Amino acid sequence: MKMRKPCKGRVSNVVLKNAKFWNGTSFEHRREVCLNACKNVETTEFDCKGALVMPALFGLGLDFMEPLRDDVYTFFDGFAAMHKGGFYGGLYESAANPIDDADKFTAMVNRFKSEEFGESEFDIKFLGAYSKGFGTDSLAEMVELAEAGVAGFGDGNGVIPHSRFIRLAMEYGKMTGKRFFFQPMDKTLRHSGCVHEGAYSDMLGMKGIPRIAETIAAYTILEMARFLQVPVHFKQVTCGETLELVRNARKNNIDVTCDVGLYHLLLDDSCLETLDSAYHILPPIRSAADREALWQGVADGTVDAISMNHTPVLRQDTVVNFEDSVPGALSLEVALPAIWNKLVKRVGESRAIELLSTAPARLVGSVPATDNVVVFAPDRPHVVVEGDFAGHVCNSPLVGKTLPSSILATYINSVWTEL
Amino acid sequence: MSALEIKHLFGLRGVSKHDIRLILDHAKQFREILERPVKKVPSLRGMTVVNLFFENSTRTRTSFELAEKRLSADTVNFTSSNSSVKKGETLVDTLRNIEAMKIDIVVVRHKGTGVPKFLADNSNAIIVNAGDGAHEHPTQALLDMLTVEEKLGTLEGKNVTIIGDIRHSRVARSNLWGMSTMGAHVTLCGPSTLVPRNTDLMNHVMWEPDVKKAVENADAIIALRLQKERMDDALLPSMREYRNTFGITQELLDCAKDKVIIMHPGPINRGVELDSDIADGEHSVILDQVTNGVAVRMAVLFLLAGGRNNENA
């Protein structure tokens, strides 16, 4: 088993030499840039050897499992992953830990800012639950949650409960002015599916989740949003049909935003042929045509952000056959090296940074600090090993794969981390 | 003797014609041995085979066990109903514990697609798939192929029609890969809720919704068992309607060739997928399939074990 490793970062002033710095519109070469943390700390000099220095990232879909599943992952692990991956903040929503009242929210904030975790200065925004325990019996105290400071209300990535409850939740939550975050998935159409319903699932005899499980749920939510005039966000859209619903909704002045998951842009369902549980991700990785539709949505602006859906899973829950494995994948540590070159090729550097940093931050009202940066070598390949991941879990389909790029160092909240 | 290219038997998709031919040829030899007064050979003497069945099975497990005993292997049966699996032990721990007892071959049946491959990735034993979810059941398909060859002389150019619950059938999947590899023309037919929705990766077989058209040129018809759960899951309205639409009846058989053979992987729902007079009639080769099952499994175990002591076969 991989052992828990301490974060190697240290508070430091930093002098970055010989790097291409992002100036807001392009990368420009500068011989030396000083990033100052504070007085009375050492100064680190780092020769970037022509690498890029870009704004740190903001991750949608963070789940560090605390407090109920701290046997799997902790804030400590999550923050280490953020340092490694170059994230200054993120949107936190834990399926195992619904924040359904203000006390839980306060306890969560106090915990992640506690001394135990180095009085974290990460810009973590929290999604409150719109219902008690992500169930369908009682509404959560959304007004108090909003006053306490949640960024919006979410479903814990659970399947959409019955429509009347959604209506009531959105109707009540409208008072807060907050956005509702849904992962659209119709429970009955999903049934017991665990992979994309397509040629590979049928060839392999695996139970599939059809696209209409997503689109019908998305359509229901958009109708609610139109009817109730409540802003909504779709998490991890997986197919072009849902993006088409988003486009049409926007034409009708419905306030809808959406993101796509990192792995949904990187993979398609041909990976199922390996029967490797590392590819067990929900919502499911869909076909190559769906992936291409997502890329088109990224390019034409339909997609607002790329989400991380960072989901730790214990090794014993992945070292089983595919259908019995617990779905989920880590992404923070590998996201930038895995997606950067593809993203730049499709949308250019400026939009790539927007999709990974400013746009997801804007969705939840985060304002990035200019000194948070990632030193990144886009042409230096990196073979992903288990040790790249923070904590004692390493569930990622990219383990063993060669990524085209490498993160050389990150500077987040005055902490310098060389990789 | 030529050796198998495969090291394990996970399924028939991707298995070469050479390997299937080798298994069928050896199965024919073992079939002859099964007709002798003394049906046992020492081919696997000293080897231990574990039958690891996480799903209920009577005929497949019995067939494997008999094949192992005929080859003089030591056999151990492990079923989930009486095992540590019920106490929460993981699949890989179960395997490692069994492996620590120095076993050589694992025959596994499990509800999950890909379990045999998973076990092979996590052990040193030879793995034989006795059915994984709706994925594959390769030895059933091999015995079906052996039966067709035995009755019709060859698979090459023969028309084989599979009727029934294709979507949930590991037997159908293994047959469509294996029989196609051996040159047979496979046609699949079933109710629209019980056939795969996406056939892009199975486009080497024919799909025929009309059961009469599906059987009219068939040299062999395989009727699949219909699970009662399909009715509970609203995939079908009733056994009655299924029988009247897709059941193999004398009326349907009148549309087929005179010498068509009728096969079924068993156990049969008489009067549902197959009428009793057809199951017991002149076209039926169902009991030959059962006998061939033992021979095919002997061949698979023998060849995967490396053909040791092959001179005794």
Instruction: Check whether B158 has a pLDDT greater than 80.
Output: yes
Q: What is the mean pLDDT of chain A?
A: 93
pLDDT score for A336: 98
Cross-chain residue pair B118–A205, CB shorter than 8 Å: no
- Using pLDDT thresholds of 50, 70 and 90, give the confidence band for residue A118: low
pLDDT in tens, B222-259: 999 998 777 677 889 998 999 999 999 999 999 999 99
Amino acid at B305: A
CA closest to B135 among chain A residues = A205
**B154–A contact, CB cutoff 8 A:** no
Instruction: Check whether B135 has a pLDDT greater than 70.
Output: yes
Q: Which residues pair with residue A87 across a beta bridge?
A: A57
| Structure tokens that stand for B27 in this block | 């199965």
Strand pairing class (A406-412; B74-79):
unpaired
Closest C-alpha among B67, B179, B86, B197 to residue B130 = B67
For range A84-113, the mean pLDDT: 92
pLDDT score for B296: 98
Tally the C-alpha atoms within 13 A of residue A40's C-alpha that lie toward its C-beta: 0
Instruction: Check whether B279 has a pLDDT greater than 70.
Output: yes
- With b for 16 or more beta-carbon neighbours within 10 A and e for fewer, the B11-46 pattern comes to bbbebeeebbebbbebbbebbebeeeeeeebebbee
pLDDT score for B310: 46
pLDDT in tens, A19-37: 999 999 999 999 999 987 6
Q: Which of A109-123, B83-97, B237-251 is the least confident region? A: B83-97
Do B17-136+291-312 and B138-288 have matching folds?
yes
Instruction: Check whether A278 has a pLDDT greater than 70.
Output: yes
Cα gap A201→A199, rounded to integer Å? 6
Amino acid at B257: K
Residue A211 burial by CB count (10 A; 0-12/13-18/19+): exposed, middle or buried? buried
B138-288 has which fold?
Answer: Rossmann fold (3.40.50)
What are the residue ranges spanned by the domains of chain B? 17-136+291-312, 138-288
For range A168-177, the mean pLDDT: 97
**B91–A contact, CB cutoff 8 A:** yes
- Using pLDDT thresholds of 50, 70 and 90, give the confidence band for residue A119: low
- Using pLDDT thresholds of 50, 70 and 90, give the confidence band for residue B88: low
**Beta sheet of A305-307, edge-to-edge order:** A57-62, A87-92, A123-129, A152-154, A179-182, A232-234, A256-261, A305-307
CA closest to B173 among chain A residues = A203
What are the residue ranges spanned by the domains of chain A? 56-370
What predicted TM-score, i.e. pTM, was given to this entire model?
0.91
User: Which of 244-283 (A) contact B at CB < 8 A?
Assistant: 275
- Using pLDDT thresholds of 50, 70 and 90, give the confidence band for residue B84: low
Residue with tokens 């996480």: B54
pLDDT score for A18: 95
| Nearest Cβ partner for A202 among B118, B122, B198 | B198
Q: Which residues contact B297 (CB under 8 A, 6 or more apart)?
A: B63, B64, B67, B68, B139, B143
Residue B239 burial by CB count (10 A; 0-12/13-18/19+): exposed, middle or buried? middle
pLDDT in tens, B25-42: 999 999 999 999 999 999
Q: How many CB pairs under 8 A join A and B?
A: 69
Cross-chain residue pair B112–A324, CB shorter than 8 Å: yes
**A320–B contact, CB cutoff 8 A:** yes
pLDDT in tens, A231-268: 999 999 999 999 999 999 999 999 999 999 999 999 99
Q: For domain A56-370, say whether CATH 3.20.20.140 is its number.
A: yes
pLDDT in tens, A184-205: 999 999 998 999 999 999 999 9
CA closest to A210 among chain B residues = B197
Whole-number Cα distances in Å, B114 to B43, B117, B132, B137, B245:
29, 5, 6, 11, 33
For range A49-69, the mean pLDDT: 94
- Using pLDDT thresholds of 50, 70 and 90, give the confidence band for residue A365: very high
B17-136+291-312 has which fold?
Answer: Rossmann fold (3.40.50)
Left, alpha or beta for A229 (phi > 0: left; psi -120 to 50: alpha)?
left
Q: Which residues of B touch A199 (CB under 8 A)?
A: 198-202
- Using pLDDT thresholds of 50, 70 and 90, give the confidence band for residue B82: low
Gap from A321 CA to chain B (nearest CA, Å): 5
CA closest to B199 among chain A residues = A199
User: Which of 165-204 (B) contact A at CB < 8 A?
Assistant: 167-170, 173, 196-202
Beta strands in B111-223 (DSSP E): 126-132, 159-163, 185-189, 206-207, 220-223
Closest C-alpha among B163, B139, B159, B164 to residue B148 = B159
Instruction: Check whether A4 has a pLDDT greater than 50.
Output: no
Q: Which residues contact B279 (CB under 8 A, 6 or more apart)?
A: B262, B264, B268, B270, B286
Cross-chain residue pair B112–A200, CB shorter than 8 Å: no
pLDDT score for B300: 98
Closest C-alpha among A89, A307, A359, A334 to residue A183 = A307
